[in-house]
């Protein structure tokens, strides 16, 4: 069960791939400065996840105007996330939760994704500048996209 609205968002530090190599990104580096939208997604190189992250990338300007940083988290390696992002022109900071620790802390781990083992569910959280969750959603199935309009509305 995903963390609920009003909960304190657990801090995390995860790896992302940059042009300079692997880099650590922590939730705490944004607190006090901007709201954060966190999208958990099951797997890179899948059709629904590609649609979701491409849609998010296309609307990244809206999130910036609303004062929010967008992060995408999956249990893929940062290397596969990077290849996927380049192939699909995904402009979202992608973070690797390869150990599944953050996925479990946020209560959004799927026990088995199509017989491949555990993965992140499709979920979205909006975390305010103080670190409180102001929007929480886990989609009914991995095939369903989050409610982008409700996510944006929570930032207004």
- Comparing 44 with 55, the larger pLDDT belongs to 44
Mean pLDDT, the chain, rounded, equals 89
Q: What does each C-alpha distance from 132 to 20, 71, 73, 90, 139 come to in angstroms?
A: 32, 16, 18, 27, 21
Backbone phi, psi, residue 74, to 5°: -145, 170
Q: What angle do CA 115, 121, 126 make, to 5 degrees?
A: 170
Q: Which two tokens stand for residue 51?
A: 């649609």
Q: What percent of the chain has pLDDT over 90?
A: 61
Q: Is residue 2 part of a domain?
A: no
State the total domains in the chain. 1
For residue 8, count CB atoms less than 10 angstroms from its CB and return exposed for 0-12, middle for 13-18, buried for 19 or more: exposed
Question: Where do we find the tokens 């998010």?
Answer: 56
Q: Is residue 1 part of a domain?
A: no
Q: Is residue 7 part of a domain?
A: no
Domain that holds residue 55: 13-155
* pLDDT for the residue 1: 87
Q: Is residue 100 part of a domain?
A: yes
Q: Is residue 17 part of a domain?
A: yes
- Comparing 88 with 52, the larger pLDDT belongs to 88
Q: Active-site residues: which are they?
A: 49
Name the least confident of 40-54, 60-74, 138-152: 40-54
Dihedral sign, CA of 56, 86, 21, 119? positive
Report residue 53's pLDDT band, with 50, 70 and 90 as the boundaries: low
CATH assignment at residue 91: 3.40.30.10
pLDDT digits (tens, 9 = 90+) for 58-112: 666 678 888 899 999 999 999 999 998 898 888 889 999 999 999 999 999 988 8
Q: Which two tokens stand for residue 38?
A: 């966190």
């Amino acid at each position: 069960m995903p963390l609920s609205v009003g909960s304190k968002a657990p801090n995390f530090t995860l790896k992302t791939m940059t042009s300079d190599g692997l880099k650590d990104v922590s939730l705490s580096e944004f607190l006090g400065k901007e709201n954060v939208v966190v999208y958990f997604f099951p797997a890179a190189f899948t059709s629904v996840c590609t649609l979701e992250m491409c849609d998010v990338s296309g609307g990244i300007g809206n999130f910036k105007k609303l004062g929010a940083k967008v992060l995408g988290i999956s249990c893929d390696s940062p290397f596969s996330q990077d290849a996927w992002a380049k192939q699909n022109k995904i402009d979202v900071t992608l973070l690797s939760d390869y150990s599944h620790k953050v996925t479990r802390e946020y209560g959004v781990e799927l026990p088995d994704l199509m017989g491949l083992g555990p993965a992140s569910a499709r979920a979205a959280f909006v975390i305010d500048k103080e670190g409180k969750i102001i929007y929480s959603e886990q989609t009914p199935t991995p095939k369903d996209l989050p409610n982008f309009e409700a996510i944006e509305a929570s930032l207004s």
